[in-house]
Amino acid sequence: MGKERWYYKKSADEIISTLKEISKEISGGVEVDDISRKIKIVTPPSLLSYGEIIEVLIDNYKDGVAVTVEANPRVWFNITSNPDRYLRHITDKLNSIHKGQKIG
């Protein structure tokens, strides 16, 4: 149940490619809409959680892109879900590769 926005001096295609690779590490499924530049990552259920949904939106911003990452439980009553863990994983990986700046 977290949301962060980051700025990268990279092309949208570079960021999307990196996000596809990151999603393979954590995903039970990935949907990529190249036209709207939106990626939806669904984590698999576990013994204690129904899983999480992470949505990433990439927008043109100045001379780079703004990446918004939002992570939520797959179902509202999933009190054992930990979406912030996935939010942090994705933003940490992106920043280790592309060195972004947090917006807002």
72-98 per-position pLDDT tens digit: 998 988 888 889 999 999 999 999 999
**Rg of the chain over all Cα atoms, to the nearest angstrom:** 13
- pLDDT tens-place string over residues 17-72: 999 889 888 876 788 898 899 999 998 888 888 989 999 999 998 899 999 999 99
Task: Report d(CA 39, CA 43) in Å as an integer.
Answer: 13
At a CB cut-off of 8 Å and minimum separation 6, what does 8 contact? 15, 64, 65, 67, 94, 98, 99, 100, 101
Please name each of the domains of the chain with its CATH number: 2-102 (3.30.530.20)
Task: Report d(CA 22, CA 82) in Å as an integer.
Answer: 18
| pLDDT at residue number 28 | 65
pLDDT above 80 for 100: yes
- Asked if 13 contacts 101 with a C-beta cutoff of 8 angstroms, the reply is no
What is the largest distance, in Å, between two alpha-carbon atoms of the chain?
44
Closest CA to 81 of 52, 54, 55, 56: 52
| pLDDT at residue number 77 | 85
